[in-house]
Every structure is written in structure tokens, then in C-alpha cells.
Structure 1
């Protein structure tokens, strides 16, 4: 199977558009179309449906996609090994917003100072979305909340977090849980924990920043469960009531992980780095 055809296929699938994929690949649109047709002919199946907004994968295309991504990545890794590249040239790092708030800047500065030739790129998202990205080889390593259970992932380093319940100073606190957006590991844990603690269902409100969550807690809108490091970093430790959680109830360190088949060349340095 021609890996160049697979690269075109993956690009079209990611962009959901032949024209956008052509621009990304710097190919003529007709060239991309002909390569997709060639791949479909080789596989004897249709890979895309045409829709008003562009294209979407057929059932057969969805089955091919993970195999194509895996093949392309393995060819890239094999090429790097054959060229005997002894140094890391690029690192795409993903991080949860909570980790980005508290420690990502120092982490990136340390890598830049130690390895000034490495090109760094940072992506932030929730733990759920980040795991998808690293499993699909879209990032080289990532900070996630909690020890990952996926067999494909390797923990390079970790730091323990202290989770706390934050509430307004008012005597009566609404049964409202202020949460980071869907996919946040802390939010998923916190709703179950709050129910066990109070036996009361809490209304959930989602926000896109921890600063907003803490500001709303201070204003009396509800409560939240967050790492203490975030509360201190955003200077809310004197603005809200802080209750420490029973350590036995949770185990959610921040872990720096990578795929076992795509370990960064600076892994030994990362394992010893103080986070």
C-alpha cells in the first residue's frame, strides 16, 4: 500500500474537505482527487461520502483511518531511525488547562534552556481530548490528570496534586457544582464525590477557565473541586473557603505521558525533571 496515498487520505479525512487538504499538502485539488480515487480503486471500496460542507468518511473509510495513521507514523519513525537522528528536533506537548495554569511555563523554559534547538509547540485541552490526541500521534507527550489506564501509554513523570473543595464564605451554599468544560478529569471525579459526601444531586454549570470558576464561587454561585495549586496560583486562597479532601477518596496526580512506541529522545531528562 502506497504511504503517499495514505497521507493524502488522512489529510482529507482530518480536513473533511478535498480543497482544504490540497491547500495543506500544497497539491493541486485535481491531484488530491485522483490520489483518493487511486486508493479507492486499490482497496475496491469507497472511502468518502460527498456532503454540502465537503466530505465525510464512509464506514470503510472509518475502518481504514486508524490503520493509515499508524502506518504513516511508523514510516516516519523508521525514517528518523535510519537517518540516525540523535537529537530531538521537535516536541509537540499537550497539557490540561489546570497544569498549564500552574507549571507549564517553567516546564517549557527548562526544556528550552537545556535543549535550545528543539522546536516546541503547546496544545491545551481536557484530559479526555488530550488522550485522544496522543493515541492518534498528534502530540509527542502530554500532561494528563490521573494515572492513565491505556496500555499504550507510558508515564514519564508525575506530580501529586492536592484536591480541595472550594466554597463561598456564605453560610448557605447553593447545590450547584461549577465545573471546567466536558472532559475534565477533576470534574468527572468531583460530581461523584459530592454526591457521596452530601447525598444531594448538584446542578452543573460548565466554564472555560479556572479563573471564572473561582470568581463565581467567590460570588456565591456554588462550589467546585480543584487542585489547591490552581487556587493558590490564581490568588484565591483568601477569597474562598477551602476544605481539604480525604486523600483516600482520590488519587489524581498530574502525569507526563507518551506513547510506548513513540518515546521522546529526551525521555531520560524528562524522567528526572522536577515538575
Structure 2
């Protein structure tokens, strides 16, 4: 039984329409009609009743539907695993600087212990750039800040982050926002928050060194948004004014839905907190 014909059958059954099924699959309507007829001919049964309002499953179609869904799912799973065979000796990992600073060492240690033959390649960049690279198949997985909410992305794991605003403790800060680099979601969130809070315009300064950013904030040169873990790692928790922020900038471990690593279950269960 041709799984491609079953995919067309499922799309038409779900949408109850030849035209909507064609649109979902990005096929022509005549192509979908032809494939449905091919499937019906191979099975020897009509699968749909045609009506003025669309199509409905016949009894034979209703019986076929759950088997079709199961067959297509298994074929897709097998295809993914076969495409990933050559990648199991190499896992290309993307990470934001914040995740590199506070948890990537633990990730490397765990993966090396559990998969000693696997090589890890790393790219450190902003969340937005990492998502773009992942979607272009340049990365297998990525640690990014904030939920990407993309139809082609699968979330494998979520790590809770305690996000805080840091300001100088005993000084009035200058109107400057410090961030790691362009595309940094911390800066984007902080810019929006500050623009909602007041009308002052803020300069933006990128420094690719967290300890230097914290030192600049302590000296009164501006403000920044950080995970509390980073502040504590560099010993600044008592040197700055720290305000809890209600931002969803949790760390999301992601991959493409059509290119899931074979160690998927391991990545879903791994604890890095």
C-alpha cells in the first residue's frame, strides 16, 4: 500500500474536502482526485461519498482511516531514523552564550559519559540566529531562550530560568541597555519593557563578555537582563540591584520536526538544572 496515497487520503478525510486537502498538501485538485481514485482502485472500495458540501468517509473509508494514520506515522518514523543514521556519530549543537556559560559543560559531560563515540560540534550565537540555522539544517539541536513557536520546530526539553533586571545598587544608571549581541532576546524583551515603563530613549551597547557587562552595570553605565544563575556565577548577586521579571525566557532545547535526533528520548529526559 502506497503511503503517499494514504497521506492524500488522510488530508482529504481530515478536511472533508478535495480542494482543502489539495491546499494542505500543496497539490492541484486534479492531482488529489487522481490519487484518491488510484487508492480506491487498488483497494476495490469507494472511500468517500461526494456531496455538494464536500466529501464524507464511506464505511470502508472509516475502517481504513486509523490504519492509514498508523502506517503513515510508521513510515515517517522509519524515514527519519534512516536519514539520521549518518548523524549519530556527530551531533551539531547550537547554544546561546547564557546557556554556554551556565550549563553546556554539564551537557558535554553527560553526553560524553553516555555516548562516548559521539562527536559534538558547537555553535554559539543569539537565539534568533540559532533558530534560523536549525531551520536550514545547519544544526541538529539548539539551546535557545524563549519559546520559538514555529510549526517546523519540536521542543525536546524546557529548562526554567529565573530572569532578573540588574541595575547599579547605589547609583542612578545611564540610559543604556547592555546585551551580548544583536538578536539577543534579553535585549529585545528589555527594550520593550523599558519603552512601556517610560519615554526615555536608551542606547544599546553589545558586549560579548558577561562579566564586563555586569561590571559596567555596577559602575552605573546602564542596565541589563540576565538569568539569576549568571549573576551568581560571577558573584554579583550582592553588588547590584536585582529585580525579578515576569518574562518567559526559559531555555528551550529544540530540533526540527522532520529531523529528530536518534537520542531524542535521552534529550527529552536529560536534566541540566
Shorter-chain TM-score: which interval? 0.5 to 0.7
Q: 2:271 aligns with which of 262, 271, 274?
A: 274
Q: Does 1:265 align with 2:262?
A: yes
Residue by residue over 1:95-120, the C-alpha shift from the partner in whole angstroms, topping out at 9 and shown as x without a partner, is 00011001011011101101101111
Residue of structure 1 equivalent to 2:51: none
Residue of structure 2 equivalent to 1:169: 169
How many Å separate the matches in 2 of 1:87 and 1:93?
12
SS at structure 2 position matched to 1:274 = coil
Residue of structure 2 equivalent to 1:211: 211
TM-score relative to the length of structure 1: 0.67
List aligned pairs for 1:1-275, cutoff 5 A.
Answer: 81=82, 85=85, 88-245=88-245, 247=246, 250-275=247-272
Structure 1 residue runs without a partner (length 5+): 1-76
SS at structure 1 position matched to 2:248 = coil
What is the count of residue pairs matched by the alignment?
195
CA positional deviation for 1:201: 2.0
CA positional deviation for 1:163: 1.1
How many Å separate the matches in 1 of 2:215 and 2:82?
50
How many Å separate the matches in 1 of 2:188 and 2:149?
16
How many Å separate the matches in 1 of 2:242 and 2:236?
10
SS at structure 2 position matched to 1:256 = strand
SS at structure 1 position matched to 2:182 = coil
CA positional deviation for 1:170: 2.6
CA positional deviation for 1:200: 2.2
TM-score relative to the length of structure 2: 0.67
How many Å separate the matches in 1 of 2:239 and 2:90?
41
How many Å separate the matches in 2 of 1:88 and 1:204?
41
Residue of structure 2 equivalent to 1:12: none
CA positional deviation for 1:256: 0.3
How many Å separate the matches in 1 of 2:81 and 2:259?
12
Residue by residue over 1:199-225, the C-alpha shift from the partner in whole angstroms, topping out at 9 and shown as x without a partner, is 322222111121221111112111111
Flag the 1:87–1:127 CA change in 2: closer, same or farther, 3 A.
closer
SS at structure 2 position matched to 1:174 = coil
Q: Whose radius of gyration is greater, 1 or 2? A: 2
How many Å separate the matches in 2 of 1:176 and 1:86?
47
SS at structure 2 position matched to 1:262 = coil
CA contact (8 A) 2:96 2:143 kept: yes
Residue by residue over 1:67-121, the C-alpha shift from the partner in whole angstroms, topping out at 9 and shown as x without a partner, is xxxxxxxxxx969728x94992110101000110010110111011011011111
How many Å separate the matches in 1 of 2:261 and 2:85?
12
How many Å separate the matches in 2 of 1:251 and 1:78?
35
Flag the 1:81–1:203 CA change in 2: closer, same or farther, 3 A.
same
